[in-house]
Chain A
Amino acid sequence: MSETIKFTIDGKECQGTKGQLLVDAAADNGVYIPILCHMRDLIPAGSCRMCTVKVNGRNMAACTTPAEEGMAIENNTPEFLDIRKAIVEMLFVEGNHFCPACEKSGNCDLQALGYKYQMMVPRFPYAFERREIDATTPKIFLERNRCIFCKRCVRVIKDEEGRSIFAFKGRGTTLEINIDRKLAATMTDEMAQKAMDICPVGCILKKEIGFVTPIGQRKYDTMPIGSDIENNHQ
């Protein structure tokens, strides 16, 4: 049987199951810890570090750290608000994120975190790297300018035999997301939609549809990211 444990986040008493990932345990207690690479029920990648919290005085990624009895977690402190804002800013300058022309604008997690942390301008210089777009598959546009290398698509979107349709190629500065053309040709509309939905930015786009939801009704137009978690457990 799973063991119930107690811990605190910013002083708030919380309950969870031993071994449960901190980010999920926090969400169950109505505390939002921002994530870009993690998704619930997925093996964590711990790559974006958006969820960095302080556990008993030490910086940890909340998506890879299991909850333990008596943990004292710092989440919404000025220190972490600034670290997270810096991460968002870094991701914005590293890719080419032209929000006004992006189909995902208003539904984009990265943009929503920019709003949450009131990013007015990144503190880092823009890289303006040239990245190629792959529009060769029937259902998907791969807009690499916007990829933040979260690896969600690689981990989630698989064909019937369990083969990943998306994959990374290269290392370091040459790293890029790719799509397997043969496997992509077998993708259904539902799979393409799912791939677009799990992409936290506007890198994976479903073809033949765009800008469907009017401005004002999109996911993050009026509701800050994470407010669903915070409002569900008051």
Chain B
Amino acid sequence: MSKPIIATTSLAGCFGCHMAILDIDARILQLIDLVEFNKSPIDDIKTFTKECDIGIIEGGCCNSENIHVLKEFRKHCKILISLGECAIMGGLPALRNGIDVKECIEEAYLNGPTVGKNTERILPNDEELPMILDKVYPCHEIVKIDYYLPGCPPKADLIWAAVVALVTGDELNIPYELIKFD
């Protein structure tokens, strides 16, 4: 039987959750025996080359590109996991939710105390740039998400236990210490 295939991505996240995946330390050698990686920053495969079994999503959706990538993941992965607070509830990027996008952009590029010279009052508006959304959306408000692993970042032991349970089909018993929202 071929090994289950995992894909991962970081949307509006800080890559902290991916660092937490690497925090499994030496178990990464066992992981390589258990699964194969496809599209992921870990192996630098940029586009899906195979249908995957598990998609791990870090970060929520703050722009049109995030939505596109998330929908690609839903299309190519049998199971999607929201990894970390940003994927689950928007996280720190969602601090802007409740504030008008125009106000946010003007604060960032025109009025903020750290804005340098922008005498022509240019706002980023190139067609190459993804469009910023009205607010930051949790992943499950865009596509169906099957499982959630909270934490900022989630503990490596939690990620390890969840992935191994999914791959082996064993029952998942999570100790109290592993589920934290910070």
Q: Which residues of A contact B (CB under 8 A)?
A: 92, 96, 98-102, 105-106, 111, 114-115, 118, 120-122, 125-126, 128-131, 215, 221-222, 224
B141 engages A125 (CB within 8 Å): yes
Known A-B contacts: A126-B94, A126-B138, A222-B177. Give 4 more (CB < 8 A). Answer: A99-B85, A121-B82, A121-B88, A215-B182
A98 engages B95 (CB within 8 Å): yes
Contact of B180 among A101, A115, A121, A126 (CB under 8 A): A115
Distance in angstroms from B147 CB to nearest chain A CB is: 8
Distance in angstroms from B181 CB to nearest chain A CB is: 4
Query: Which of A92, A98, A115, A129 has the most C-beta atoms of chain B within 10 angstroms of its own C-beta?
Result: A98
B148 engages A100 (CB within 8 Å): no
Given contacts A128-B97, A128-B98, A128-B135, contact A222 B176 (CB under 8 A): yes
**Which A-chain residue is minimally distant from B96 (CB atoms)?**
A128
Which residues 124-173 of B have a CB within 8 angstroms of A?
135, 138, 140-141, 145, 147-150, 152
Chain A residues within 8 Å of B90, by CB: 126, 128
Instruction: Tell whether B123 is near chain A: CB-to-CB under 8 Å.
Output: no
Contact of B181 among A100, A129, A131 (CB under 8 A): A100
A115 engages B148 (CB within 8 Å): no
Chain A residues within 8 Å of B150, by CB: 120-121
**Which B-chain residue is minimally distant from A116 (CB atoms)?**
B176
Chain B residues within 8 Å of A118, by CB: 174, 179
A100 engages B99 (CB within 8 Å): no
Instruction: Tell whether B35 is near chain A: CB-to-CB under 8 Å.
Output: no
Instruction: Tell whether B89 is near chain A: CB-to-CB under 8 Å.
Output: yes
Complex CA gap A105/B181 in Å reads 8
Chain B residues within 8 Å of A96, by CB: 95, 97-98
Complex CA gap A51/B138 in Å reads 30
**Which B-chain residue is minimally distant from A105 (CB atoms)?**
B182
Instruction: Tell whether B67 is near chain A: CB-to-CB under 8 Å.
Output: no
Instruction: Tell whether B34 is near chain A: CB-to-CB under 8 Å.
Output: no
A126 engages B89 (CB within 8 Å): yes
A221 engages B141 (CB within 8 Å): no
Which residues 86-126 of B have a CB within 8 angstroms of A?
88-92, 94-95, 97-99
**Which A-chain residue is minimally distant from B86 (CB atoms)?**
A100
